[in-house]
Structure 1
Amino acid sequence: MKHLYPLTIALLLAAPAAAQHTAPPTPAAVDPRVAALRDAALKDDLAYDIVEGLTTEVGARLAGTDAEARARTWAVAKLTALGFSNVRSEPYRMPVWVRGAEEAEIVAPVPQKLTLTALGNSASTGAGGLTGELVVFSSYVEFANAPSTAVKGKIVYIGNTMQPTQDGSSYGANGTARFTGPALAAQKGAAAIVIRSIGTDAHRLPHTGVTDFPAGVKPIPAAALSTPDATLIERLARRGQPIRLKLLLTPKMIGERESGNVIAEVPGTDPGAGIVLVGGHLDSWDLGTGAIDDASGVAITAAAAKRIMDSGQRPRRTIRVVWFGAEEVGGFGGKAYAQRHGSERHATASESDFGADRVWRFETQLPESAKSVTARLASALAPLGIVHGSGLAGDGTDIEPTVATGVAGIDLNQSGLRYFDTHHTPDDVLERVDPEQLRQNVAAWTTMLAIVANAPEEIGAVPRQ
């Protein structure tokens, strides 16, 4: 899932209004060939086939593990069988964290077992576990303002109440508790930390996710509680009685291992026109089977690219489909891709990493020479119920290092109203994918590729803030 870290949010809020908005495009006629491709894609079955195959034949794909390696082998075979060109795996090495035992219970004032899961990069409590006083903070801000003396040697709890939003903006606002909370707790001398899961559900299924401990900060045990268990702790805290928690977490770092990106292409007729980069991430967390995050994304983009490939007419620009590795644990695949391919000419970059619900909005960040592309996209996407947004495109952990070099961006935004109900939970499974909504995604991406890959305009670099 793409990460809206607090610094990114702050920079967006601080940017001048003119830099955040684009004028509505002038309506443009829709090419009948584009419309035909779009409408045919509404009957697509390939994307669902890819999601079903990846989640059934490989399953969970934690970055840097044997499971992710099996996924790369599966992906190369699948993309080759589909007829893509230049299919290959590009390996790199990365530090690997693996999960261990996960148990917790309230010892006092009322004994109660809890449901939780370790956060990526969490330290271990040791095999004997850890028991200590729980100090409760209702929000990250309240915790951040607390003196170190209030938490030293104790187990910290951070609450938050995340509400569903169509654009997913509540993730950035509430995710700070997970992104930076554990590191701050470690710096303040806490023995461990548990947070209310960063999610919008009320199920007893905790949400995992990576947390970062900066250099020089010793990691501490860090976990996320399911929403009902977090609410129980908050109710107990309001009664004013001391809470003692027993915690057992035994994850570990196992050193450097291999990860990699899987690449496939639809060759274009004009090598000088630039590459149209699309894709999603192949890895997933290990609690579910990664159907929503992000088997759907790799499936949507590959299915759309195949529709262009099978149209009978080669696109002007090469379409490069990348199934990035190790996104969930730090965006290693996106960084490795940019390092290896940064010298190549890219026209645009886009990724699908927000589940499988309907695309409701698109945004662009294109050079002046290609502004008319936005108008054509607006007209062709409108029949799918997709509106043109006023923001600037280029969002996504995997494409971020590439767009940072000045590559133009095009975003197709899916609805986030139910995404964070299952995000990073054991419930991220095939049953959460709606085939009809998946088809609408494929139609949207097919439309975008048909227009952008064949656009006669020059699509050069764009200035970055």
Structure 2
Amino acid sequence: MKLIKLAAIAACVLSASVFANDPIIPVSPETKATTTTLRDKAINDNSAYQILKSLTTEVGARHPGTPGEKAGIEWGIKKLKALGFDKVYTEDVKMNGWVREVEKAEILVPSYQKMVITALGRSKSTPKGGLEADIVHFKNYAALEKAADNSLKGKIAFISNRMERLKNGGGYGPANIARSKGHELAAQKGAEALLIRSIGTDDHRNPHTGATNVAMGYTAVPAVALSNPDADQLVRLMEFGHTPKIRLNIQTKDLGPIVTKNVIGEITGRELPNEVVVIGGHLDSWDLGTGAVDDGAGVAIAMATGAFIKNNVTVNPRRTIRVILWGAEELGLIGARAYAKARQADGTIANHVIGSESDFGAGPVYGLQSSKNVSVNALHVVDTMAAIMGNLGVSRRGGDTSGGPDMIPLAALGVPALNLMQDGTDYFDLHHTPDDTFDKVNPEHMRQNLAVWTVFTYIAAEWPGSFK
């Protein structure tokens, strides 16, 4: 034990000496002053809100493989050009398309009642006329794991755990395993289908769809999300001693190979054009609503941030600001993985200085978090960003981050990332539901996001040091 402690101390001393020899480059007074001016102007700017209004109204839902997605891509190209980006282009992303067609569910026994459901991503179809079966209730995924293999023949597995509401969205991961992997487990147990309480925090009859862990093809059994009030109804029926029998009719379609796109706009760096600061959101959405909070808001915030900086400084920042509107995030980070793979292949991954994605709705930003990929000698820059964001209600936070879902593939390749932490208290009331619409977005919160993202993006692009 003593040898281990001595080795650890020696390593810390060595690390400290190495870091001590590295130059610490301060954020210049001029950069701080410009950033503060931009912040104070952005907090009164409605451009992000107006961009979101255009996307959700003139395009609407943007599910991969649909006319709406194609219209969204065309909208993104046209809007980036209109906003004055120096360079606008797209990159093809290959994938297998999937769409829903029929969704119907009814309680047959002990009393007839209609239920509100939606198919989970890449769910397979039931037989054409649907299937009828008793449900077997499991309080959570772990309870279903304990069931004997092939013990649910002729039954429908029902998982009823409720997601916990937390400001940072921390209740999502623990609940989400039922959605992502439950279909495989239900099939292993012999079930005819999987029925889960929606992974969401609302009490509305709006079911929450979402991705499963199927990259291509279909789930192992039909996989369905039930609105939370309907899930409660099933649980109450069982509390009265009944065994509900239900009819499910889910019809979906595999579109086969399709091509979607990542849409990219750049503000070219004046001195280091090959070094890029990545910001963005995902352009695709589920088909139930109009994709306002997931992730139209992130798309609008990123587009507005790049344009706002471009139009409110006398010269472009030192580095290139690259706004990426990722494609096909909802079905498995498909556009993000393609983007990262291409940069790894062409050797330009090292040019990615730092990045972040806005993909947690339209709530106000309250914290700034840096990833472990940010070097010790660059942490003072993040602290400076947080200090300038301070009067916007933002404070410096600890922990690690990937910088958002579509940043995960880049962060895995060593790209430093920041998390501009949004208040997600109500996010999972709307996420992946028909209620994800523009009227839920607060324009004041969008202005605050624009101001916060402007601070991060401008300093990251202007500071001459390395974040790695």
If the length of structure 2 is used for normalisation, what is the TM-score?
A: 0.90
- 1:85-234 aligned at under 5 Å gives the runs 85-213=86-214, 219-234=220-235
SS at match of 1:148: coil
Match of 1:353 in 2: 359
Distance 1:157 1:271, change over 3 A: same
Q: Which residue in 2 is equivalent to 1:386?
A: 394
My pick for the range that moved more, 83-92 or 201-210, is 83-92
Inter-partner Cα distance in structure 2 for 1:439 and 1:216: 41
Q: What is the aligned residue count?
A: 435
- Farther-moved stretch of structure 1 (221-230 vs 395-404): 395-404
Q: Quick one: structure 1 residues 188 and 322, their matched pair in 2 at CA, closer, same or farther if it must change by over 3 Å? A: same
Which residue matches 2:5?
none
Q: How do 1:326-337 and structure 2 match up within 5 A?
A: 326-337=328-339
Q: 1:34-88 CA deviation, whole Å, 9 max, x = no partner?
A: 1110111111111111111111111100013222111111110010011102201
> Tell me, what secondary structure is at the counterpart of 2:207?
coil
Deviation sequence 1:301-356 (CA, Å, 0-9, x none): 11111121112221111000000000000111101111222321100010000000
- Which residue of 2 is the match for residue 290 of structure 1? 291
Greater C-alpha radius of gyration: 2
Q: Aligned runs of 1:201-350 on 2, under 5 Å?
A: 201-213=202-214, 219-271=220-272, 274-310=275-311, 311-342=313-344, 343-344=347-348, 345-350=351-356
Q: Secondary structure at the match of 2:40?
A: helix
Q: Which has the higher helix share?
A: 2
Deviation at 1:258, TM superposition (A): 1.1
The answer to whether the 8 A contact 1:349-1:394 is kept is: no
Partner Cα separation in structure 1 for residue 467 and residue 442 of structure 2: 35
Check the 8 A contact 2:151/2:190 in 1, yes or no.
no
Question: Equivalents in 2 of 1:205, 1:458: separation in Å?
Answer: 46
Cα distance in 1 for residues equivalent to 2:265 and 2:188: 44
In structure 1, how many angstroms separate the alpha carbons of the residues matched to 2:396 and 2:53?
31
Would the aligned equivalents of 2:147 and 2:189 in 1 still touch at CA under 8 Å?
Answer: no
Which deviates more from structure 2 when the two are superposed, residues 179-188 or residues 270-279?
Answer: 270-279
**Cα deviation 1:195-242 (Å, max 9, x = unaligned):** 000000000111010112489996211110101000000111122222
Give the AA of the match of 2:342.
R
Q: Does 1:375 align with 2:383?
A: yes
SS at match of 1:398: helix
Stretches of structure 1 that go unaligned for 5 or more consecutive residues are 1-17, 19-26, 461-465
Query: CA 1:414–1:183 in 2, change beyond 3 Å: closer, same or farther?
Result: same
What is the distance in 2 between the residues matched to 1:378 and 1:123?
A: 47
Residue correspondence of structure 1 range 54-93 to structure 2 within 5 A: 54-93=55-94
Q: In the alignment, what sits opposite 2:457? A: 449
Instruction: Please name the residue that 1:13 is paired with.
Output: none
**Residue pair 2:183, 2:219 contacting (<8 A) in 1 also:** no
Shift of 1:450: 1.5
Are the counterparts in 2 of residues 102 and 250 from structure 1 also a CA contact under 8 Å? Answer: yes
SS of residue in 2 equivalent to 1:184: helix
**What SS does structure 1 have at the residue aligned with 2:247?**
strand
SS of the residue 2:126 aligns to: coil
How far is the alpha carbon of 1:370 from its aligned partner? 1.5
SS in 2 for 1:261: strand
Counterpart of 2:9 in structure 1 is: none
Deviating beyond 3 angstroms after TM superposition, the runs of 4 or more aligned structure 1 residues are 27-30, 213-218
Which amino acid is 1:348 matched to? I
SS of residue paired to 2:319: coil
The more displaced of 60-69 and 271-280 is 271-280
* Contact 1:121–1:219 (8 Å) recurs in 2: no
**Is the 1:207–1:225 contact (alpha carbons within 8 Å) kept by the matching residues of 2?**
yes
Instruction: Report the more deviating stretch, 191-200 or 154-163.
Output: 154-163
In the alignment, the residues of structure 1 paired with residue 274 and residue 222 of structure 2 have an alpha-carbon distance, to the nearest angstrom, of: 50
1:181/1:218 CA distance change after superposition, 3 Å: closer
Deviations 1:345-380 (A, max 9, x none): 100010000000000111013112322212211211
Amino acid aligned to 1:336: A
- Structure 1 range deviating more: 346-355 or 83-92: 83-92
Residue aligning to 1:429 = 437
Judging changes above 3 Å, is the alpha-carbon distance between structure 1 residues 71 and 242 closer, same or farther for their aligned structure 2 residues?
same
The answer to whether the 8 Å contact 1:183/1:213 transfers is no
Deviations 1:126-170 (A, max 9, x none): 321100111111111111211124323311100112121111110
Contact 1:196-1:230 within 8 A present in 2 as well: yes
Bigger shift: 217-226 or 429-438?
Answer: 217-226
Deviates more, 1:379-388 or 1:339-348: 339-348
Identity value in percent:
44
Matches of 1:214 and 1:155, distance apart in 2: 24
SS in 2 for 1:89: strand
Q: CA RMSD in A?
A: 1.8
Structure 1 CA distance, aligned partners of 2:382 and 2:33?
Answer: 17
Change (3 A) 1:326 1:445: same
In structure 2, stretches of 5+ residues that fail to align are: 1-11, 13-25
Change (3 A) 1:316 1:180: same
Following TM superposition, by how much is the alpha carbon of 1:32 offset from its aligned partner in structure 2, in angstroms?
2.0
Q: Quick one: structure 1 residues 214 and 291, their matched pair in 2 at CA, closer, same or farther if it must change by over 3 Å?
A: closer
Q: Which amino acid aligns with 2:323?
A: V
- 3-state secondary structure, aligned to 2:60: coil
Q: Residue type matched to 2:461 in 1?
A: A
